[in-house]
Amino acid sequence: MSRPRQAITAEGAPRAMGPYAQAIVAGDLVFCAGQVGLDPASGRLVAGGIEAETARVLENLSAVLAAAGLGLGDVVKTTVYLADLGEFAAMNGVYGRYFSAPYPARATIGVAALPAGARVEIEAVATRR
Protein backbone atom coordinates (compact mmCIF):
# COMPACT_ATOMS: atom_id res chain seq x y z
CA MET A 1 0.00 0.00 0.00
CA SER A 2 1.43 3.34 -1.07
CA ARG A 3 1.57 6.19 1.43
CA PRO A 4 0.43 9.60 0.21
CA ARG A 5 2.98 12.32 -0.45
CA GLN A 6 2.14 16.00 -0.70
CA ALA A 7 4.07 18.48 -2.84
CA ILE A 8 4.72 21.91 -1.36
CA THR A 9 4.85 25.01 -3.54
CA ALA A 10 5.98 28.34 -2.09
CA GLU A 11 5.36 31.64 -3.86
CA GLY A 12 8.21 33.28 -1.90
CA ALA A 13 10.88 30.94 -3.30
CA PRO A 14 12.15 30.40 -6.83
CA ARG A 15 10.14 27.93 -8.88
CA ALA A 16 11.63 24.51 -9.47
CA MET A 17 13.95 24.51 -12.48
CA GLY A 18 13.06 20.97 -13.49
CA PRO A 19 10.82 17.98 -12.75
CA TYR A 20 10.99 18.17 -8.96
CA ALA A 21 9.01 19.71 -6.09
CA GLN A 22 10.22 22.54 -3.86
CA ALA A 23 9.42 20.16 -1.00
CA ILE A 24 7.60 16.90 -0.34
CA VAL A 25 5.73 16.04 2.84
CA ALA A 26 5.98 12.35 3.71
CA GLY A 27 4.46 11.48 7.07
CA ASP A 28 5.91 13.81 9.70
CA LEU A 29 8.90 14.76 7.55
CA VAL A 30 9.30 17.55 5.02
CA PHE A 31 12.08 17.08 2.46
CA CYS A 32 13.12 20.41 0.95
CA ALA A 33 14.85 20.48 -2.42
CA GLY A 34 18.14 22.29 -2.60
CA GLN A 35 17.88 26.05 -2.89
CA VAL A 36 20.41 28.39 -4.46
CA GLY A 37 20.59 32.15 -4.06
CA LEU A 38 18.07 33.04 -6.74
CA ASP A 39 15.87 36.04 -6.08
CA PRO A 40 12.30 34.72 -6.43
CA ALA A 41 11.07 37.94 -8.06
CA SER A 42 13.74 38.28 -10.75
CA GLY A 43 14.88 34.66 -11.06
CA ARG A 44 18.46 35.89 -11.00
CA LEU A 45 21.31 35.00 -8.68
CA VAL A 46 21.73 37.68 -6.00
CA ALA A 47 24.88 39.80 -6.10
CA GLY A 48 27.19 40.26 -3.15
CA GLY A 49 29.15 37.02 -2.89
CA ILE A 50 28.83 34.01 -0.65
CA GLU A 51 27.26 35.85 2.29
CA ALA A 52 24.47 37.35 0.18
CA GLU A 53 23.87 34.05 -1.59
CA THR A 54 23.73 32.11 1.70
CA ALA A 55 21.24 34.58 3.17
CA ARG A 56 19.04 34.33 0.05
CA VAL A 57 19.26 30.52 0.11
CA LEU A 58 18.06 30.45 3.72
CA GLU A 59 15.29 32.96 2.98
CA ASN A 60 14.18 30.71 0.11
CA LEU A 61 14.24 27.65 2.39
CA SER A 62 12.27 29.60 5.00
CA ALA A 63 9.60 30.38 2.40
CA VAL A 64 9.32 26.73 1.38
CA LEU A 65 9.10 25.64 5.01
CA ALA A 66 6.46 28.32 5.74
CA ALA A 67 4.35 26.96 2.86
CA ALA A 68 4.45 23.63 4.73
CA GLY A 69 3.51 25.32 8.02
CA LEU A 70 7.03 25.08 9.45
CA GLY A 71 10.11 27.21 10.05
CA LEU A 72 13.87 26.86 10.26
CA GLY A 73 13.48 25.77 13.90
CA ASP A 74 11.85 22.58 12.63
CA VAL A 75 14.85 21.60 10.48
CA VAL A 76 16.67 18.49 11.70
CA LYS A 77 19.22 18.01 8.88
CA THR A 78 20.81 20.13 6.19
CA THR A 79 23.24 19.41 3.41
CA VAL A 80 25.33 22.33 2.18
CA TYR A 81 27.00 22.21 -1.23
CA LEU A 82 29.83 24.69 -1.80
CA ALA A 83 31.53 25.41 -5.11
CA ASP A 84 34.57 26.61 -3.10
CA LEU A 85 35.25 25.07 0.31
CA GLY A 86 37.47 28.10 0.98
CA GLU A 87 34.21 30.04 1.48
CA PHE A 88 33.06 27.72 4.28
CA ALA A 89 33.73 30.20 7.12
CA ALA A 90 31.81 33.00 5.39
CA MET A 91 28.86 30.71 4.61
CA ASN A 92 28.94 29.32 8.15
CA GLY A 93 28.78 32.80 9.68
CA VAL A 94 25.54 33.57 7.84
CA TYR A 95 24.15 30.05 8.42
CA GLY A 96 24.70 30.47 12.17
CA ARG A 97 22.51 33.60 12.23
CA TYR A 98 19.53 31.69 10.79
CA PHE A 99 19.59 28.65 13.09
CA SER A 100 19.63 28.34 16.87
CA ALA A 101 20.50 25.55 19.28
CA PRO A 102 19.91 22.73 19.06
CA TYR A 103 21.32 23.16 15.56
CA PRO A 104 20.34 20.75 12.79
CA ALA A 105 22.75 17.99 11.85
CA ARG A 106 24.70 19.06 8.78
CA ALA A 107 26.99 17.79 6.05
CA THR A 108 29.02 20.15 3.86
CA ILE A 109 30.22 18.95 0.49
CA GLY A 110 32.55 20.61 -2.00
CA VAL A 111 31.31 20.39 -5.58
CA ALA A 112 32.68 21.34 -8.99
CA ALA A 113 29.68 23.50 -9.96
CA LEU A 114 26.13 24.40 -8.95
CA PRO A 115 23.01 25.41 -10.92
CA ALA A 116 22.85 29.00 -12.22
CA GLY A 117 26.52 29.57 -11.34
CA ALA A 118 25.67 29.62 -7.62
CA ARG A 119 28.34 29.36 -4.94
CA VAL A 120 26.12 27.60 -2.38
CA GLU A 121 23.12 25.28 -2.37
CA ILE A 122 21.38 24.02 0.77
CA GLU A 123 18.78 21.28 1.12
CA ALA A 124 16.92 20.48 4.33
CA VAL A 125 14.81 17.91 6.11
CA ALA A 126 12.32 19.18 8.71
CA THR A 127 9.94 17.46 11.08
CA ARG A 128 6.32 18.32 11.81
CA ARG A 129 6.58 16.97 15.36
Instruction: Give me the pLDDT at residue 2, please.
Output: 63
| Domain-located, residue 30 | yes
91 CB-near residues (< 8 Å, 6+ apart): 50, 51, 54, 80, 82, 120
| Domain-located, residue 73 | yes
Q: What is the pTM of this model?
A: 0.96
Instruction: Give me the pLDDT at residue 4, please.
Output: 83
Amino acid identity, position 77: K
| Domain-located, residue 81 | yes
Q: Which CATH number goes with the domain that contains 119? A: 3.30.1330.40
Per-residue pLDDT band at 1 (split at 50, 70, 90): low
Is there a contact between 53 and 119 (Cβ–Cβ < 8 Å)? yes
State which residues form the domain around 48.
6-127
Please report which helix (H) or strand (E) contains residue 94, including its range. Answer: helix 88-98
| Domain-located, residue 76 | yes
Summary mean pLDDT of the chain: 96
pLDDT tens readout for residues 6-55: 999 999 999 998 999 999 999 999 999 999 999 999 999 999 999 999 99
| Domain-located, residue 1 | no
Amino acid identity, position 39: D
| Domain-located, residue 64 | yes
pLDDT tens readout for residues 73-106: 999 999 999 999 999 999 999 999 999 999 999 9
> How many structural domains are present in the chain?
1
60 CB-near residues (< 8 Å, 6+ apart): 12, 13, 14, 35, 36, 37, 38, 40
